[in-house]
Amino acid sequence: MRRRFPGRPEQVAAARRLVASVLGPSSPFGEVAALLVSEAATNALLHTASGELGGSVEVSCELADGRRLHVEVRDQGSATHPHRKPHETDSVNGRGLELFDALATRWGAARSMEGHVVWFELEAAPPEGLSS
């Protein structure tokens, strides 16, 4: 599923709802996926042209085998590439990419023709008695 959202702060919640609709109410990924898509979309709005007048963010998500979620957040670019910024230990800002490290199975960022894409994957453990 793929959808483009206007580059406005209230659209971050709409991006979360898109991911939730793909996952369904009993998904083991729900809270983590919502947090990470919120971080990626918010960063796009704060740090790229997506947050400027007329900007937008595109979110795509795919659930494979009910066990692996792949989400991409595409922005409209900036002069810099997504990276970690040093932050003060008492700061509440600048921790988004640390969340990706801690919670995502895999994640990354790349430039695209239109801007940047930040992606993450979440993978559930196989059911007991099955090997992956």
Cα dist from 89 to 37, 86, 97, whole Å: 24, 9, 15
pLDDT at site 86? 57
Residues of the chain with pLDDT under 50: 89-92, 132
Tens of pLDDT along 80-96? Answer: 665 555 555 444 455 67
Helix (H) or strand (E) holding 12: helix 11-23
Length of the chain: 132
Q: How high is the pLDDT of residue 90?
A: 47
Q: Tell me, what's the pLDDT at 32? A: 95
Predicted TM-score of the model (pTM)? 0.84
Backbone angles phi, psi at 5, to 5 degrees: -115, 140
Amino acid letter at 31? E
- pLDDT score recorded for residue 91: 41
CA distance 124 to 131: 12
CA nearest to 38, candidates 68, 64, 5, 65: 5
Q: Which domains are present in the chain?
A: 2-82+93-123 (3.30.565.10)
